[in-house]
Amino acid sequence: MDGSTLLAHALQDQGADCVFTVVGGPVIEAVGACGDLGLRPIGVHHEQAAVFMAQAYAYVGGGLGVALLASGPAVTNGVTGAHVAWDNCWPVVILGGSASTRQRGKMPFQEADSVALMQPVTKWAAQVDSAERIPEYLAMAVRRAHAGRPGPVYLDLPADILQAAVDEARAVRPPKVAPPALPAGDPAAIARAVELLLGAERPLLLLGKGVRWSGNFERLTHLVETLGMPFVPSPMGRGFIPDDHPLCMSGARSTALRGADVVLVLGARLNWTFGMGRGFAPGARVIQIDIAPEELGLQQELAVGIAGDAGAVVAQLLDALGDAAGDRSESDWLATLRAARSKNEAALAPVMDAEAVPMTHHRLLKEVRDALPRDAIITVDGQITLATGRQVLPSFLPASRLNSGANGCMGVGVPFAVGAKLAAPHRPVISINGDCAFGFNGMEMETSLRYDAPVVFLIDNNDGIMGGVLEGRMFQRPHAERVAMYLPGIRYDRMMEAFGGHAEHITDPAAVRPALAHAFAAGRSACLNVATDPAAIWPIPTAGRASALMGY
């Protein structure tokens, strides 16, 4: 057996059932060995997409997400994938080939210090030092990716080590790494949190996707109902409690964040998407639960910090609460939030119902909302597209909403959807992308066709980066060439036609729903290229600097 074959066996030992790759030296034999063992190699077009797919595969399905990359530029292409997994706290094992250890420093093919490149964007990055130890290193990588706060890890595989003959007697083959511990919180801290929650007049739960790794999501619904506690999910924290739960206050986000007197932060970080916690009411008491103790109190002085697994701590809170809360199904606080939510919904009505052609982003996504089945997995990518999706598109099931998230990386939408479909083949998957965002990894539509992983790829096509809004604000002097805008009316649907998928070009709002029905019934991947209004952005930000439009 050589190192490549041993790697494939070790991946199988660790429970991998597929690897995402762009085939190239020195990992060609390893990819082949994976295929021979029945670990499905998924060959894609760009290593960035391979890492995106692997992390989405892990997040949606819970399986081991593995990207197997060639050397040098293949690994540098994967760095963005690692960076996004790092920000998302999603486990993914990135394996990269590298030049032979015997040729270091002598300008061998694609020599790169890949471990150093990956170090700042991974939980752990290391180089394997002998073929016999490949399984041990892999087990370490898998354990580190999943333990505590999950995240990406990188393992570097020099060519000579992959090619070396292995003395099988010396190769240690660790068994499958056990699932990570789900530690409970300190009972004294639980008691303080319960006291605060029971005493709160205006409690609020900020719910993030970190709860995905705990399971038993019904406990979350039970907790908010017990306390009559409204909740606001983070961009990807939707669906762990269904978005149509009466206590969901996504539609009254600002009022909720500014008004709460006790804020419970669960499975979420107080990063910029939550205003770094600076927008809470003066005197608001914050209870933060996090698996990573170093996170506690990072942004905000805490009333209570609880280090522990989200699910375990919620179970403790429920136990400690018992029936002490009484009936909290109605309160002034809930009435205030419901009123704010209705007001916001009413303000959106004109753009949601607009008949204009080209259509508004809101009208497009309203049509999508009304067509989607409840169990749809949705990926959203773009700027205006993402913001509109947040306002319009609900999610109802756990780990079913994937988007650019706190990292804000354009290009995730298409590969996340392919990884999600491979992880959940029986669920409908739709990928909604701004046309710029789509451009980064649009070639992966072909991957979805080749692997019979049907996804509906929808392009919210407003002719470029935030349509014409940025273009108009960037330059102090007249500028003839388009920089943030593309050629008008690009027919991305014809790309899909060229790949052999189903495709439609849509201009009329009334045609969106029938087109979605055709696309989901097509039995193969589809591309719906929808012309939207380049000038449509709502609400129109009044800030002077162009960068402010992007949130800076």
Binding site for ligand TPP (CB under 6 A): 382-385, 408-411, 434-437, 460, 462, 465-467, 550
Query: Using an 8 Å Cβ cutoff, are 263 and 278 in contact?
Result: no
Between residues 75 and 465, which has the closer beta carbon with respect to ligand TPP?
465
Question: Which CB sits closer to ligand TPP, 97 or 408?
Answer: 408
Give the separation between CA 360 and CA 355, rounded to whole angstroms: 8
CB of 434 to ligand TPP, least distance (A): 2
**To the nearest whole angstrom, how small is the minimum distance from the Cβ of residue 314 to ligand TPP?**
33
> Distance (Å, rounded) from C-alpha 270 to C-alpha 278?
9
Q: Which is nearer to ligand TPP, 374 or 479 (CB)?
A: 479
- Do residues 378 and 413 lie in contact, with contact meaning Cβ atoms separated by under 8 Å? no
Smallest distance, Å, CB 477 to ligand TPP? 22
If we measure between CA atoms, which residue out of 354, 351, 363, 412 comes closest to residue 383? 412
What 8-state DSSP symbol labels residue 7?
H
Is residue 13 classed exposed, middle or buried when 0-12, 13-18 and 19+ CB atoms within 10 A define those classes?
middle
In the complex, minimum distance from the CB of residue 464 to ligand TPP, in angstroms, rounded to a whole number: 6
Of 62 and 472, nearer to ligand TPP (C-beta) is 472
Q: How near is the Cβ of 29 to ligand TPP at its closest, in Å? A: 32
Question: Could you tell me the smallest distance in angstroms from the CB atom of residue 443 to ligand TPP?
Answer: 16
Nearer residue to ligand TPP within complex by CB, 515 or 536: 536
Q: In the bound complex, what is the minimum distance in angstroms from residue 136's beta carbon to ligand TPP?
A: 35
Reading the block at residue 510, the tokens are 């009334």
CB of 513 to ligand TPP, least distance (A): 20
Residue facing ligand TPP at closest CB distance: 434
Residue whose token pair is 């074959």 = 5
CA gyration radius for the chain?
Answer: 24
Cα separation, 242 vs 207, whole angstroms: 12
Alpha-carbon distance 38 to 41, whole Å? 9
CB of 364 closer than 8 Å to CB of 529: no
Which phi and psi angles does 46 have, rounded to 5°?
Answer: -150, 135
* Pick 382 or 454: Cβ nearer ligand TPP: 382
Nearer to ligand TPP, 435 or 444 (CB): 435
* Phi and psi based region of residue 61 (left: phi greater than 0; alpha: psi -120 to 50; beta: remaining): alpha
> Among residues 349 and 535, whose Cβ is nearest to ligand TPP?
535
Q: Are 400 and 428 in contact (CB under 8 A)?
A: no
